[in-house]
């Protein structure tokens, strides 16, 4: 008797996942293997332990600076998303529903405008920015806020669509709440999951960003890793692995957080 | 008690200003500047010289190579990604398999760039794990005809490496939207499994598949980091041409070439997005 | 499609068992459906009713026993050749096809020529009252209309058996009743053997020739709606087939003493002792004298009225009565029982 349904057979499923999974795992395995290479034919942990060796402190200083810069940029970008984008989205949904389509359009533009194009015009803008804010690294987050806009918008929008924020806020208002209370005590708790997702995605994008930093001659994780790879490819590889692992852990967490949300099931 | 007109319309409008100003300053202005500079020469006079520069053989070649590279990796990535989505049908949405794969896909889709170059050098570089293993075990030299990893063909595998996960992320919702009832209805009406996929499964998925395909194309088209880290010689694809133009504005005897390249890229992207929305409205006949 | 004489197919389940890992969905189900008969499978979710229907469709493979169509075993016949017409709970229309294309699908599978396909599909749509909606897509139709199309699609191939898997449960109350009656009308007109799965007792009792109440993979009782309602064989059936009041009392000699009133038992062979009687709201009346109770709430239900009262010991029960009486909340009333035999709760 034939099977009915859209699901693959177990054999098919594991064959597909196995083959593609294996191919996808190869580069990462190769990185691990590479990071363990010592003298020809031998493996060693020296490259890993060497990172924290005080003797190499000078050598790796730039690298750690890059890491620090990227983390700072991630924080500021997350701040931009949550303190600027989210309130704007809420405001538009509640007070200017007609602008909804425009906001969406604007937020999705960065998909059409590649970072490599944006950076051409960002150079003169940053000329002005550094005159106002100085040339410290965190100002780069303004540009990163733009590049994460489509992802952040979608994550927050999904959360907003899941709860009827208009009704929620009307209910809260009718119970006597002021706008600030409505926002912080009613809306934010309900779209918190979307804000968290947006923050995690923003963090991942910022940690992986290379184009803008590189072409504006700023130092972040990616540019400093590329720089050090010329002199010490092993440590560059190790940092690449660690960054991958960190981002993966972040996304697993968000995945699990998303999984525990109550679902409206109809079966 | 008097009614407090808190949050009047004027104040609400004021609330829109920070974001509007931000978007104008860091999205609109840079985009206009990027595109605008392509139309001016070094002295601020309007010129078409930069645009005609796009027709130079090397530049034209970089567009052609980028287009086929994007097309190829988009198609292969879309197929492989769709296969993964298919294989995940019937697994629990909140199970470890799905969360694991979607998290991994999220990382690998976003994390392209420089790190991918390292990964592939470690794998299929001259001293790479796979290269050496193939050489030792099968006496097969993948670089018999020359080292292609640091040229455009070398970008295919790394690009696929972020295209496949991106496909998984963008296509999974559509794949999950396939209703088991459709297969069952088709079967009770006399359709075989092949009939289901041919007449129902593929047609229903087609708009989302093509949409994702376009997104993948755009993604490869605008990717920069991997190529920047991997390609050592020349500027064989457009983003590297932009880099070259930015770093040495006057080498070609033409300033603002980067702007012209930006215009070229945006034209391609806009055409893609137009195709995407045309596709959407065609499918909308039966989609909500 | 013109009215035809009942030439339906006979369906038999013989000791059908379906075992899932760690869960027995069907536990020796025996069921005999006469040609042209409309049988409803009624039960709470998880009782196995849907599994039984899907096993007949061929969507589930049974572990043991046999299913016969006109006397021959269907085990070897795959779904797509079993010739069943099935209507699903919801979302079963192919979204990218028009209504007409949906209805034509089964005919296309049977290699019916284009012209005849079109005519038959249009006739089927006509039959469900959607003749003019052929060019629309599923999402442009209401839930009720979608289910009508699904019905037309299931019937257009003139299948051996019509399978209805909770086809009304996603619809609004009003549409539900309308469509339910229409399904019955069409079924009678075509004389097609029909198996109808539902968890709604009112629905089952309203349309089926016979109703099978299922519990934990078994058929607890099967019979005409009246039988089931008046002579439930167990407390489960009594409870499931109608709203029941639960009144604690004492059994002795085939009767139960409830607040000083003796009521006959449906199953008198029952050891004496404390028990809970299940008394239907329509078997309780207001009377000049009897058990005293206080009115809690009363609601107007159109043709009748239902009033909730509380007895002295706190037991609450529902009384169904004519609309000419409208007791005030808090009023003290007296209750009498019609004396219809009652079932006991387990």
Residues C48/C27, Cβ–Cβ less than 8 Å:
yes
Residues of A in contact with B242 (CB under 8 A): 116-117, 119-120
Sign of CA pseudo-dihedral C216, C221, C223, C224? negative
Give how far the C-alpha of residue A61 lies from the chain's centroid of Cα atoms, to the nearest Å.
25
- In terms of CA atoms, which chain C residue is nearest residue B190? C80
Q: Residue A178 gets which letter from DSSP?
A: -
Are C137 and B286 within 8 A, CB to CB? yes
- Shortest alpha-carbon distance between residue B259 and chain A (Å): 7
pLDDT confidence of residue B7:
52
pLDDT 10s digits, A41-60: 788 888 888 887 777 777 88
Half-sphere exposure at residue C177, Cβ-oriented, CA atoms within 13 angstroms: 3
Question: Among A114, A197, A183, A186, which residue's Cα sits nearest to residue A153?
Answer: A197
End-to-end CA distance of chain A: 27
* Top CATH class, B47-283: mainly alpha
Give chains near C: 3+ CB pairs under 8 A.
A, B
- In terms of CA atoms, which chain C residue is nearest residue B189? C106
Q: What residues does CATH 2.40.50.140 cover in chain C?
A: 243-344
- Shortest alpha-carbon distance between residue C80 and chain B (Å): 4
Domain assignments of chain B as residue spans, ordered by start: 47-283
Angle at alpha carbon of residue A215, lines to A213 and A216, rounded to 5°: 65
A4 touches chain C (CB under 8 A): yes
A39 touches chain B (CB under 8 A): no
Smallest Cβ–Cβ distance between B265 and the set A31, A85, A114 belongs to: A114
pLDDT confidence of residue B2:
38
If you average pLDDT over every residue of chain A, what do you get? 86
Residues 215..244 of A with a Cβ closer than 8 Å to B: which? Answer: 215, 222-223, 225-226, 229, 233, 236-237, 240, 243-244
A212: left (phi over 0), alpha (psi -120 to 50) or beta: alpha
- Shortest alpha-carbon distance between residue B96 and chain C (Å): 21
Give how far the C-alpha of residue B205 lies from the chain's centroid of Cα atoms, to the nearest Å.
20
- In terms of CA atoms, which chain B residue is nearest residue C107? B189
Residues of C in contact with B183 (CB under 8 A): none
Residues of C in contact with A1 (CB under 8 A): 58, 61, 75-76, 78
pLDDT confidence of residue C239:
81
Q: Residue B25 gets which letter from DSSP?
A: I
- Shortest alpha-carbon distance between residue B91 and chain A (Å): 9
For chain C, list residues whose CB is within 8 angstroms of any CB belonging to chain B.
57-59, 78-86, 88-97, 105-106, 109-110, 137-139, 150, 153-154, 157, 163
pLDDT confidence of residue B52:
83
Residues of A in contact with C61 (CB under 8 A): 1
Position with higher pLDDT, B41 vs A188? A188
pLDDT confidence of residue B23:
94
Please tell me whether the interface predicted TM-score (ipTM) of this complex is above 0.90.
Answer: no
Residues B182/B148, Cβ–Cβ less than 8 Å:
no
The structural domains of chain A, ordered by start, are 54-259 (1.10.3720.10)
C80 touches chain A (CB under 8 A): yes
Angle at alpha carbon of residue A41, lines to A35 and A42, rounded to 5°: 55
Segment A214-232 shows an average pLDDT of: 89
B vs C: CB pairs below 8 A: 76
- Tokens standing for residue B192: 């075989």
| Number of Cβ atoms within 10 Å of the Cβ of C4 | 13
Sign of CA pseudo-dihedral B73, B74, B78, B79? negative
Are C80 and A1 within 8 A, CB to CB? no
Residues of A in contact with B165 (CB under 8 A): 24
- In terms of CA atoms, which chain B residue is nearest residue A237? B118
Q: Residue A232 gets which letter from DSSP?
A: -
Give how far the C-alpha of residue B5 lies from the chain's centroid of Cα atoms, to the nearest Å.
48
Sign of CA pseudo-dihedral B149, B154, B158, B160? negative
Q: Phi first, then psi: what are they for A131, rounded to 5°?
A: -75, -30
Sign of CA pseudo-dihedral C252, C256, C261, C266? negative
Residues of B in contact with A33 (CB under 8 A): 122, 129
Residues C232/C221, Cβ–Cβ less than 8 Å:
yes
pLDDT confidence of residue A72:
94
Give how far the C-alpha of residue B96 lies from the chain's centroid of Cα atoms, to the nearest Å.
27
- Shortest alpha-carbon distance between residue C238 and chain A (Å): 26
Question: Among C247, C250, C257, which residue's Cα sits nearest to residue C271?
Answer: C250
**What is the DSSP annotation of C193-260?**
EEEEEES-HHHHHHH-SEEEEEETTEEEEEE-HHHHHHS-SSHHHHHHHS--EEEEEEEETTEEEETT
Give the total residue count for chain A: 267
Helices (H), C110-172: 114-127, 143-155
Mutate to test the interface with B, among A2, A5, A6, A109 (most CBs of B within 10 A): A6
d(CA C267, CA C288): 30
Does residue A265 have a pLDDT over 70? no
- Shortest alpha-carbon distance between residue A1 and chain C (Å): 5
Residue A182: pLDDT band with limits 50, 70, 90: confident
pLDDT tens across the length of chain C (346 residues): 444 444 789 999 999 999 999 899 999 999 999 999 999 999 998 899 999 999 999 999 999 999 999 999 998 999 999 999 999 998 899 999 999 999 999 999 999 999 999 999 999 999 999 988 889 999 899 999 999 999 999 999 999 999 999 999 989 989 999 999 999 999 999 999 999 999 999 999 999 999 999 999 999 999 999 988 888 888 888 888 876 788 888 998 888 998 888 899 888 888 888 888 888 888 899 988 889 999 999 998 888 899 999 998 888 899 999 888 888 899 999 999 988 888 887 6
pLDDT confidence of residue A58:
78
Give chains near B: 3+ CB pairs under 8 A.
A, C
Residues 198..237 of B with a Cβ closer than 8 Å to C: which? Answer: 199-200, 203-204
Residues linked to residue C162 through DSSP beta bridges, in sequence order: C85, C194
C21 touches chain A (CB under 8 A): no
In which residue ranges of chain B is pLDDT below 70? Answer: 1-8, 112, 249-255, 284, 287-288
Residues of C in contact with A4 (CB under 8 A): 58-59, 79
Residues of C in contact with A2 (CB under 8 A): 78-80
Q: Which fold has domain C11-236?
A: Rossmann fold (3.40.50)
- Shortest alpha-carbon distance between residue B81 and chain C (Å): 23
Tokens 């469709």 identify what position?
Answer: C57
- In terms of CA atoms, which chain B residue is nearest residue A222? B114
- In terms of CA atoms, which chain A residue is nearest residue C45? A267
Q: Contacts for B168-171 with beta carbons within 8 Å, 24 or more apart?
A: B168/B81, B168/B84, B168/B85, B168/B101, B168/B102, B168/B105, B168/B109, B169/B102, B169/B105, B169/B106, B169/B109, B170/B211, B170/B212, B170/B215, B170/B216, B171/B78, B171/B81, B171/B82, B171/B85, B171/B208, B171/B209, B171/B212
d(CA C260, CA C281): 18
Give how far the C-alpha of residue A257 lies from the chain's centroid of Cα atoms, to the nearest Å.
16
C2 touches chain A (CB under 8 A): no
Burial annotation B256-276 (CB, 10 A radius, 16+ → b, else e): bbbbbbbbbbbebbeebbeeb
Residues C162/C90, Cβ–Cβ less than 8 Å:
no
Q: Which fold has domain C243-344?
A: OB fold (Dihydrolipoamide Acetyltransferase, E2P) (2.40.50)
Are A4 and C76 within 8 A, CB to CB? no
pLDDT 10s digits, B230-282: 987 888 899 998 888 888 755 555 567 888 999 999 999 999 888 888 887 77
Does residue A264 have a pLDDT over 80? no
């Amino acid at each position: 008797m034939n099977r009915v349904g859209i699901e693959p057979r177990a054999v098919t499923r594991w064959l597909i996942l196995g083959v593609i999974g294996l191919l996808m795992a190869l580069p990462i395995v190769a990185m691990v293997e590479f990071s363990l290479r010592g003298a020809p034919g031998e493996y060693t942990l020296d490259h890993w332990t060497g990172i924290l060796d005080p003797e190499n402190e000078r050598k790796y200083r730039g690298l750690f600076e890059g890491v620090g810069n990227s983390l700072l940029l991630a924080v500021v970008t997350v701040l931009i998303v949550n303190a600027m984008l989210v309130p704007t989205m809420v405001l538009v949904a509640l007070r200017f529903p007609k602008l909804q389509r425009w906001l969406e359009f604007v937020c999705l533009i960065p998909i059409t405008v590649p970072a490599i194009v944006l950076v051409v015009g960002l150079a003169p803008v940053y000329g002005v920015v550094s005159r106002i804010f100085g040339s410290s690294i965190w100002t780069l987050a303004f540009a990163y806020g733009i590049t994460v806009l489509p992802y952040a918008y979608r994550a927050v929008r999904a959360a907003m669509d899941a709860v009827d924020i208009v009704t929620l806020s009307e209910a809260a208002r009718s119970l006597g709440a002021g706008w600030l209370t409505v926002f912080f005590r009613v809306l934010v708790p309900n779209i918190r999951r979307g804000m968290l997702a947006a923050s995690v995605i923003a963090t991942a994008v910022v940690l992986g960003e290379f184009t803008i930093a590189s072409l504006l001659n700023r130092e972040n994780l990616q540019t400093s890793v590329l720089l050090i790879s010329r002199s010490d490819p092993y440590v560059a590889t190790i940092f690449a692995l660690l960054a991958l692992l960190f981002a993966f852990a972040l996304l697993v967490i968000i995945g699990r957080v998303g999984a525990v949300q109550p679902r409206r099931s109809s079966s | 008690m008097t009614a407090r007109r808190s949050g009047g319309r004027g104040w609400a409008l004021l609330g829109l200003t920070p974001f509007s100003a931000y978007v104008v300053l860091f999205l609109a202005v840079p985009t206009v500047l990027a595109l605008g500079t392509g139309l001016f020469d070094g002295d601020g006079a309007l010129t078409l010289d930069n645009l005609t520069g796009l027709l130079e053989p090397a530049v034209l070649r970089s567009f052609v190579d980028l287009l086929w590279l994007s097309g190829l990796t988009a198609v292969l990535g879309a197929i492989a990604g769709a296969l993964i989505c298919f294989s995940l049908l019937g697994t629990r949405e909140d199970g470890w398999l799905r969360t694991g794969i979607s998290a991994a896909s999220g990382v690998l889709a976003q994390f392209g760039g420089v790190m991918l170059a390292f990964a592939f050098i470690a794998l299929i570089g001259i001293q790479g794990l796979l290269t050496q293993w193939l050489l030792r075990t099968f006496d097969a030299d993948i670089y018999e005809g020359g080292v292609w990893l640091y040229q455009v063909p070398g970008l295919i595998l790394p690009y696929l490496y972020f295209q496949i996960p991106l496909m998984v992320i963008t296509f999974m919702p559509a794949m999950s939207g396939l209703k088991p009832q459709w297969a069952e209805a088709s079967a009770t009406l006399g359709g075989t499994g092949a009939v289901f996929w041919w007449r129902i499964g593929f047609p229903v998925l087609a708009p989302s598949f093509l949409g994702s395909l376009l997104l993948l194309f755009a993604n490869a088209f605008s990717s920069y980091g991997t190529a920047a880290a991997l390609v050592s010689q020349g500027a064989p694809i457009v983003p590297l041409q932009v880099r070259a133009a930015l770093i040495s504005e006057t080498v070609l005897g033409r300033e603002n070439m980067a702007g012209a390249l930006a215009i070229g890229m945006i034209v391609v992207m806009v055409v893609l997005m137009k195709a995407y929305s045309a596709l959407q409205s065609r499918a909308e006949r039966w989609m909500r | 499609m013109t009215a035809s004489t009942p030439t339906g197919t006979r369906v038999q389940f013989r000791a059908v068992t379906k075992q899932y890992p760690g869960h027995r969905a069907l536990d020796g189900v025996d069921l005999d459906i006469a040609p042209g008969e409309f049988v409803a499978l009624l039960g709470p979710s998880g009782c196995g009713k849907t599994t039984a229907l899907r096993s007949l469709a061929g969507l589930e493979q049974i572990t043991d026993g046999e299913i016969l169509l006109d006397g021959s075993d269907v085990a070897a016949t795959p779904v797509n050749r079993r010739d069943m017409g099935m209507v699903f709970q919801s979302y079963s229309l192919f979204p990218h096809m028009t209504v007409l294309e949906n209805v034509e699908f089964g005919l296309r599978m049977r290699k019916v020529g284009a012209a005849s396909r079109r005519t038959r599909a249009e006739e089927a749509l006509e039959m469900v009252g959607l003749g003019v909606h052929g060019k629309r897509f599923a999402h442009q139709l209401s839930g009720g209309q979608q289910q009508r199309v699904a019905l037309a699609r299931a019937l257009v191939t003139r299948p051996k058996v019509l399978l209805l898997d909770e086809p009304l449960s996603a619809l609004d109350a009003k549409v539900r009743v309308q469509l339910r009656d229409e399904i019955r009308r069409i079924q009678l007109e075509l004389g097609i053997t029909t198996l109808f799965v539902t968890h709604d007792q009112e629905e089952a009792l309203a349309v089926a020739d016979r109703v099978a109440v299922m519990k934990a993979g078994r058929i607890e009782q099967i019979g005409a709606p009246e039988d089931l309602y008046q002579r439930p064989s167990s407390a489960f059936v009594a409870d499931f087939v109608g709203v029941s009041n639960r009144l604690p009392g004492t059994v002795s000699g085939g009767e139960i003493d409830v607040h000083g009133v003796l009521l006959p038992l449906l199953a008198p062979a029952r050891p004496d002792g404390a028990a809970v009687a299940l008394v239907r709201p329509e078997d309780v009346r207001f009377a000049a004298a009897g058990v005293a109770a206080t009115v809690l709430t009363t609601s107007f239900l159109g043709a009748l009225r239902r009033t909730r009262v509380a007895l002295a010991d706190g037991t609450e029960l529902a009384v169904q009565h004519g609309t000419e009486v409208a007791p005030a909340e808090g009023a003290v009333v007296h209750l009498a029982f019609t004396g219809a035999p009652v079932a006991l709760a387990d």
